[in-house]
Amino acid sequence: MIVKALYIVLSVALVTVWGLTLTGIVRKIVARVHGRIGPPVWQPFVDIIKNNAKRTGISHGVMFYLGPVFRIAGGMGTFLFIPVLFGSDMFSNFSFAGDVFLVMYFIFFGQLGMALGSGEGGHPYSAIAVARGLAQMSAFEVPFALSVISLAVQYDTFSVSSIVAAQQGSIFSWTMFTNPLATIAAIIAMLGMNMHSPFDVVIAPQEIPIGPPTEYQGSFLGMLHTNRGIFNGAKLILFMNLYFGGATTIPEMIVKTFCIYMISVFVGVSFPRFRTDQSIRFFLGIPTLIGVAAVILYWL
């Protein structure tokens, strides 16, 4: 039991550091696209230290405190039920049969908690952003859920570990090749999930400055930033497990999650953002149809 707890701590530390480093690397890459040098790779860590070093902070009530807590709980929850490395006892976390559903629930849990917390912040921009975020979230959940259902039908299991196990062998047994339609639907949903353009209207700094966390400062913000590392890492690992054959070693995990994240980043730097209504129409259009097709194809 104690060994398991130590393993969990180790694996959370790994994903936090990797998630934040990935953020730093991405900033650097985006800066290169812009023609800039960009911030140092370790900048996210400095930012977190700086935010926690603020001497004063203001609160707007209990829910305001709990918002970041929910958020980080959502991030941790997502992460803790995903096996990071296939076949590794150390990085298997709490994976069990049926964890796909728990993970999907946790992905949205954090956002709901954040919605309550930032709503109590009382800033009108937070409220607008929360409305936008929840609307957009329920839209991109549809293709993602359809895609996961298609996988469940395909592999006849609800366990991430089993899905990964079924993809072992050659590269052509990855879901990416065995079920391309589900993969496409999920990747499009991931664009929405990662909040890069064109689906970043929730945090659009030109319209509603920074969105839900408008009122959060100091250590609250530090917590949200830490969560960004964990949650990003967790989501990417989930996608890697479900569609890209999982990973058996840490370097493989790093390379795969990096490549998956790059899809979001490259789409992000080359598109402006959709309005909320436009992005909802987008998600409920072709991606949903692709998802439905993926489900039907494997049902038959």
Partner 1 sequence: MHNKETLPNLGLPEHERDLFCDARPRVSKPLASYIEKFLNWSRANSLWILAYGTGCGAIELRPLFTARFDISRYGMAPRPTPRQASLLMIGGYLSVKTLKRVIRSYEQMQNPKFVIGLGSCTVNGGMYWDSYNTINRLDHYLPVDVYITGCMPRPEAIIAGFEQLKKRIKDGRAEGANQYAEQFDWYKANQKKIITDWNMPDYNW
Partner 2 sequence: MKPYSDRGKFPERTENGNVIDLDSGKFVKLWQGPQHPGVTGNMSLEVIISGDEVVDLTTHVGYLHRAFEKLIERRLYIQSFPLVCRICVPEPDTNEYGYAAAVEELAGIQIPEKAAWLRTLTLEMSRLTSFLMWLGGQAGAFGLGTIPQWCLAHRDYMLDLFEELSGGRVYHMYIVPGGVRDDLPRGFARRLEDVLQKIEQVMSDIELALFSNAVFKRRAVGLGIITRDMIDEYGIVGPNARAAGIARDLRKDQPYLIYDKLSFEPVTADFSDAYTRTLVRYREMEQSIDLIRQIMAGIPEKGAIHVRPPNVLHWKIPAGETYVKAESTRGEYGYYLVSDGTAYPRRVHVRGPSYTHAVVLLEHLALNTNIADLPGLMVSLHTYPPEIER
Q: Is 34 in the site for partner 1 (CB under 8 A)?
A: yes
33 is a contact residue toward partner 2 (CB under 8 A):
yes
Helix-strand-coil split of the chain, %, nearest 5: 75, 0, 25
**3-state SS record for 147-204:** HHHHHHHHHCCCCHHHHHHHHCCCHHHCHHHHCHHHHHHHHHHHHHHCCCCCCCCCCC
Among 2, 35, 56, 89, binds partner 2 (CB under 8 A): 35
Which is it for the CA torsion 53, 58, 61, 64, positive or negative?
negative
Q: If contact means CB under 5 to 8 A according to the sort of partner, which of partner 2, partner 1, none does residue 54 touch?
A: partner 1
Task: Tell me which stretch binds partner 2 (CB under 8 A): 14-22, 27-35, 47-55, 226-234.
Answer: 27-35
Q: Minimum distance from CB of 141 to partner 1 (Å)?
A: 28
Select the binding partner of residue 49 from partner 2, partner 1, none (C-beta < 5 to 8 A, by kind). Answer: partner 1
| N residues, the chain | 300
Least distance from partner 2 to the Cβ atom of residue 190, Å:
17
For the bound state, the minimum distance from the C-beta of residue 222 to partner 1, rounded and expressed in Å, comes to 11
Residue count at the site for partner 1 (CB under 8 A)?
A: 31
- Who's near 3: CB < 8 A, 6+ residues apart? none
| Contacts of 133 by beta carbon, 8 Å cutoff, 6+ apart | 111, 115, 202, 211, 212
Among residue numbers 201 through 230, which ones bind partner 1 (CB under 8 A)?
A: 205, 209-210, 213-218, 221
Instruction: Give the number of other CB atoms < 10 A from CB of residue 99.
Output: 23
Cα–chain-centroid distance for residue 58? 28
Q: What track of x and - describes contact with partner 1 for positions 40 through 79 (by CB under 8 A)?
A: x--x--xx-xxx-xxxxxx---------------------
Rounded-to-integer distance, Cα 113 and Cα 288, Å: 26
Q: Within 10 A of 220 (CB to CB), how many other CB atoms are there?
A: 25
| 197 sits near partner 2 (criterion: CB under 8 A) | yes
CB 160 within 8 Å of CB 95: yes
Write the interaction track for partner 2 spanning residues 263-292; mark x where CB under 8 A is met and - where it is not.
------xxxxxxxxxx--------------
Rank residues 57 and 180 by Cβ distance to partner 1 and give the closer one: 57
Q: How far is the CB of 160 from partner 1 (least distance, A)?
A: 36
232: left (phi over 0), alpha (psi -120 to 50) or beta: alpha
CB 236, min distance to partner 2, A: 22
- Output the smallest distance, CB 143 to partner 2, in A: 18
Residues that bind partner 1 (CB under 8 A): 27, 31, 34-40, 43, 46-47, 49-51, 53-58, 205, 209-210, 213-218, 221
